[in-house]
Structure 1
Amino acid sequence: MNQAGRVCAGAGHNCAFSRAGSSCMENIRLFADLPADAKRELLACSRHSTHESGSIIVHEGDPIESIIVVRSGRIKTYRTTPGGKEYVLDVLHDGQALWYGMFLKDHIYHYSVECLTRVQLCRIHRADFETMLANHPSVALGLIRMVCTELDHAEEKTMMLGIRNPRRRLAEYLLLRDHSCVGPEINMRLEDIANSVGLRPETVSRHVAQFVREGLVKRVGRGKLLVLNRDGLAEVAHHED
């Protein structure tokens, strides 16, 4: 089920990120450093929607017409091979956004997007974002810096996938997820972790159980892991044979 509605400036009390004296824009990395008037422009033309767990909000090949911001919940981006095997590209959570490729000539999604939980989204149409950039040209430099940061993260993940030893690869992935997740826990099913690192679910389960026995991580609920010893995981990821 999808519930959507127009959001106007001053309606921040409806937003999951609203706090006294601030709007949701303060908690979205893509918008956090924008001038106050630019944030008001975007807030006035944004649209909020709610999607249930399992909903597909983007299909591969769809045109990229809007910035999609996760206000609350978790979504995954993934591709499916002709044989039906799924590869998880990333898991996004509160405050993260899908927007890369929006300004390319071939601005289509090269992946699908599914809700892992009940999700609240904020969408800002490409034309409205372009208008804001035209009104605030200095903002473009900040976006370039953000793209560079995301490219660094993509390079780290590519290097992680190149690690042949499954124990080391999983340790490196858990370090990357622990660094990027909201809150202290990694909130992912073992199956999604397996699809993210290119390993079988039983392989991931076995090594996670070993990490638990070694005191490196702790299971804190269904699909939730807490990293207890980052230095220990780093030792596994970077120094084990």
Structure 2
Amino acid sequence: MVIREKHNACEECGFCTSSIPLLDGIPQEERREMLKSSPHLDMSEGDFLFYEGENVNTIWIIRKGTVKLTRSDIDGREQIVGIFSDSEAIWEGIFLKESVYPYSAVCMTDVSVCAVSMENFSRVLSDPRTARSIITLLSQKLHDANTRNILLATKSPAAKIAGLLVYHKERSRETHIALKLQDIAASLNLRPETVSRKLREFEKSGLITRAGKGKIDILDFEGLHGVYEAGRNEPSVGGEQNPKD
């Protein structure tokens, strides 16, 4: 089990009651009552919210920071299956009986979260507005999964990286995209040196600039999107590419 030492009741959390899509369908007073008994946790970079194999019984609402969902392949290499940041919630499997996490959640930065138990959330599920909100979010999750599958099926490494940056920029409210080179590589099944080389090429072309360790600014969104679209259906040459090239 994960040991979480820093926590307090989330009684006056105006952020949680106003900015989280998962809670949009819940009347404000019911949200406040639900969150009064929900711990507010302050985690450090590298901490785990949960480990692969733990029972799913909590909705993790990210107030601030970035969390990656990760697991290891058969050779022990990290695979990133999702990245979540401000105002997003991790709740996959919460409605499935005896569900366990198929991945671990690791803080990529210092993170503040609210941990809402399934028991507390279940009390408000009977409201039709809540049901509509959940259906909308499930549709978004399906769209995100399809986007990830398209990126992984793309042959061109440059197009893969461009598509990932575009995807994160569209979802982010921040100026910078907070992605380290190793995280991009693990997300796309590419070698870190390949990612580094392509990012340098993007910088020379004026598409991006690196604002510091693990921070990327997009200077030409349309140009970067064009790289993705041009390479998305690019056929492989001379047989199947090595997926790590």
TM-score by length of 2: 0.88
2:181 pairs with 1:190? yes
Contiguous gaps of at least 5 residues in structure 1: 13-17
How many residues align? The count is 229
Q: How does 1:25-104 map to 2 (within 5 A)?
A: 25-104=17-96
Q: Deviations over 1:49-74 (max 9, x none)?
A: 11111112211110011101111111
CA contact (8 A) 1:54 1:116 kept: yes
Q: Provide the rounded CA distance (Å) in 1 between the counterparts of 2:68 and 2:133.
A: 25
Contiguous gaps of at least 5 residues in structure 2: 235-245
Q: What is the match of residue 15 of structure 1?
A: none
- How far 1:37 sits from its partner (Å)? 2.5
Q: In the alignment, residue 122 of structure 1 is paired with which amino acid?
A: C
Q: Provide the rounded CA distance (Å) in 1 between the counterparts of 2:98 and 2:207.
A: 44
CA contact (8 A) 1:41 1:132 kept: no
CA contact (8 A) 2:25 2:129 kept: no
Q: 1:28 to 1:88 in 2, by over 3 A?
A: same
Q: Provide the rounded CA distance (Å) in 2 between the counterparts of 1:221 and 1:236.
A: 23
Q: What is the match of residue 7 of structure 1?
A: 10
- How far 1:138 sits from its partner (Å)? 3.2
- How far 1:33 sits from its partner (Å)? 4.2
TM-score by length of 1: 0.90
- How far 1:94 sits from its partner (Å)? 1.2
CA contact (8 A) 1:66 1:123 kept: yes
- Identical aligned pairs, as a percentage? 30
Q: Provide the rounded CA distance (Å) in 1 between the counterparts of 2:227 and 2:76.
A: 32
Q: What is the match of residue 144 of structure 2?
A: 153
2:193 pairs with 1:202? yes
CA contact (8 A) 2:26 2:124 kept: no
What secondary structure is seen at the aligned counterpart in 1 of 2:125?
helix
Q: What is the match of residue 157 of structure 2?
A: 166
